[in-house]
Structure 1
Amino acid sequence: MNRKDEHLLLAKALYKKQANDFDDLTFVHQSLVDLTPAEVDLSTEVLGLQLTAPFYINAMTGGSEKTKIYNQQLAIVARETGLMMASGSASAALQDSNVAESFTVIRKENPTGLVLANMGAGKDAQAAEKIIDLLQADGLQIHLNVPQELVMPEGEADFKNWRHNIQQITATISKPVIVKEVGFGMSRETLQQLKQLGVQAADVSGKGGTSFTQIENARRSKHELSYLNDWGQSTVTSLLEAQEAELTILASGGVRDAYDIFKALCLGAKAVGISGAILHSLMTVGVEATIDLIESWKNQLRMLYTLTNKKTTAQLTSVPLLVTGNAKAWADARSIDLKKIAQRI
């Protein structure tokens, strides 16, 4: 079976809406507000890209006939809802032109929407240019996935050129470049290193949703690396790590609904990527129901903005939040000031 198809089937089989660190965040209720949901502006901006909503369809799939169908459907959802969409890793299209259409179908179905191309950090600037051109993309995601590669039966184990590639790409590519994890989270040290490499935006993408170490371990004949299923830090703890980062921060990983999107925005994310919840909806109830779900999330966000008396996405970083549970324990151990977040106004 094609590896991309296998990933898709395992992602569906292993998907479950589970408790995660987003549940450790509590809002401080304020009784008086000065606006209505109709006045709320959900738009946001990421490196010059203007998003009409503060969430987007994050990188998922591509590279086979079956995944072409899902990318086509995801592109239709993105077109009808006005969401930005990222492709899955398009590196395969450079080696095999036969699978290119599983990626180019995104732009074909959504000719005027925002599209991000995606590739691994093992590829250089020349490859980045080719992938951007292939997808007619508005920007590029470079994904970091060391744990996945090490657990993957046929994975890459040499990461020595990653820093050089990232630095070269950010220096030469004219389109916006976002460096993203794939569900293992980012530390403040990583974010600082990325800044030194010239990176301007990072998607901290933490654990709490799809686990690619779990998926790859399921593909191993002995399934001997299950202890890595929970490797990394959560999206919430990654956002706490990013509080002092001098980068544009995006978030993804374990985002289950509009409330999680809202929490991530209040913790500093400029926009929030969703993969598992949208793919699960698409695979179980179809395109139209997924469009309805996304429009419902927009309406819920307008309600949540109103509930906290914030008219714009940019204002959400002044909403006070209490951090408890696992996230608090992490923050305490890492000397992250939670009082500052709890006492914002």
Structure 2
Amino acid sequence: MESRKDQHVRLFEKTYQTHQTNDFDSVRFVHNSLPELSLSKVDSLTTLPFGTWSSPFFINGMTGGSEKTKKINESLAHAAAATGIAIASGSQKAALKDPALHDTFRVLRQVNPNGFIFANIGAELDEEAAKQAIDMLDANGLQVHLNASQEVVMPEGDRDFSSWLKNLERIAHSIDLPVVVKEVGFGMSRATFRRLIDAGVQIIDVAGKGGTNFITIENQRRDRARFDYLQDWGQSTVISMLEAQPYLDQATFFASGGVRHPLDALKGLALGARAIGVSGIFLHTALSSGSEGLITLIEEWKQQMNEIMLLLGCASLDELRRTDLILSGTPDQWARLRGPKPEEMATRSQRIS
């Protein structure tokens, strides 16, 4: 397990692409030549079922479980503490099996004593494991990740997913903290949203295709019977948020996966997400420039998000969610087959009061 965690980080850096394209490029705002707004009036705070965050993006779950990844978590936690944004742990399964690894995750709380921290487990674990993971970090909330695609390609991965939905239902009803059910980079569909909501899940992170690809990473760990043909598996974050449109008033959605810069984050928020999870670029920055480099980047994101909102004439995220969005490429094709109609997205400011 320890070796696998380090392999994941090494293969992430090997496959990380600074200028990769994804479906966020197929979503465009309509330029507003008369914003009629001052930057001092722009506020990007986001209201969530459990409170308010001053910034609508957070450091999403990534790593832990080895001495090398402990240092990474320390760097990420230092940046979260310095900038006041939330942070999620990587999967704590290894530490639940081996108490000697607890400190590789506890460092998140030790370095960031007052911050908002999500614990993290997989859906194969039950509510007792969830409580142990939360206690390990004195966490403010819990992420439960869905990684069937990764497990299938992982050489030593699980092949039995039959208990997942029942575990999620029990966790949702027994944990008295915010519970976020998230993918690990392959997106979600309407059918998945319906089943999660019926099970009592109130917060969903669509975590779509477009960023770190765990099929690619696990495939490189295989000696034979490779799954190269599955590297384009899943739905993008943009498509997942289009799938979420009928359910925006029934659950709170987070968007993550392939978020490269503040403009991508604002597109995710405009599509209805209440918060944006960021992993790849933050991990790459922490590895290459340390916590101080990541702090600088996060502060730049905060400033630039407000400045782009100013350009759009939006003083709040509620106003951002009423802006017109132009779809092209695969998202446009997907929406024409499954909705919402691209024409409605392009003219929604005329109908939303």
TM-score, normalization: structure 1?
Answer: 0.98
Gaps of at least 5 residues in structure 1 are none
- 1:32-71 matches, within 5 Å, as 32-71=34-73
Quick one: which of 121, 124, 136 aligns to 1:122? 124
Query: 1:316: Cα distance to partner?
Result: 1.4
The amino acid that maps onto 2:258 is G
The amino acid that maps onto 1:14 is T
Deviations 1:34-79 (A, max 9, x none): 3212221111123213211010000000001000000000000000
RMSD between aligned alpha carbons? 1.0
Q: Are positions 1:213 and 2:207 aligned together?
A: no
- Give the Cα separation in 1 of the matches to 2:320 and 2:141: 25
Deviations 1:147-204 (A, max 9, x none): 1001001101101100110000001100000100000001011101100000001000
- Give the Cα separation in 2 of the matches to 1:281 and 1:30: 32
The amino acid that maps onto 1:310 is C
Q: Which shifted more, 142-151 or 219-228? A: 219-228
Q: Are positions 1:294 and 2:298 aligned together?
A: yes
Query: 1:243: Cα distance to partner?
Result: 0.8
The amino acid that maps onto 1:131 is A
Identify the residue that residue 258 of structure 2 maps to in structure 1: 254
Query: 1:338: Cα distance to partner?
Result: 1.8
- Give the Cα separation in 1 of the matches to 2:235 and 2:73: 29
Identify the residue that residue 9 of structure 1 maps to in structure 2: 10
Deviations 1:246-273 (A, max 9, x none): 2101000000001100111111110000
Aligned residue pair count: 345
Q: Which shifted more, 218-227 or 184-193? A: 218-227
Deviations 1:6-37 (A, max 9, x none): 00110111100301000001111222223212
The amino acid that maps onto 1:12 is E
Query: 1:213: Cα distance to partner?
Result: 0.6
- 1:140-151 matches, within 5 Å, as 140-151=142-153
Q: Is the 8 A contact 2:208 2:234 kept in 1?
A: yes
Q: Is the 8 A contact 1:44 1:314 kept in 2?
A: no
Identify the residue that residue 78 of structure 1 maps to in structure 2: 80
Deviating above 3 A after TM superposition, structure 1's stretches of 4 or more consecutive aligned residues are none
The amino acid that maps onto 1:207 is K
Q: Is the 8 A contact 1:44 1:51 kept in 2?
A: yes
The amino acid that maps onto 2:342 is L
Three-state SS of the structure 2 residue aligned to 1:307 is helix
Q: Are positions 1:89 and 2:97 aligned together?
A: no
Quick one: which of 138, 141, 144 aligns to 1:139? 141
- Give the Cα separation in 2 of the matches to 1:12 and 1:325: 29
- Percent sequence identity is 48
Q: Is the 8 A contact 2:169 2:200 kept in 1?
A: yes
Q: Is the 8 A contact 1:38 1:302 kept in 2?
A: no
The amino acid that maps onto 2:101 is V
TM-score, normalization: structure 2?
Answer: 0.96
Q: Is the 8 A contact 2:243 2:339 kept in 1?
A: no
Query: 1:91: Cα distance to partner?
Result: 1.4
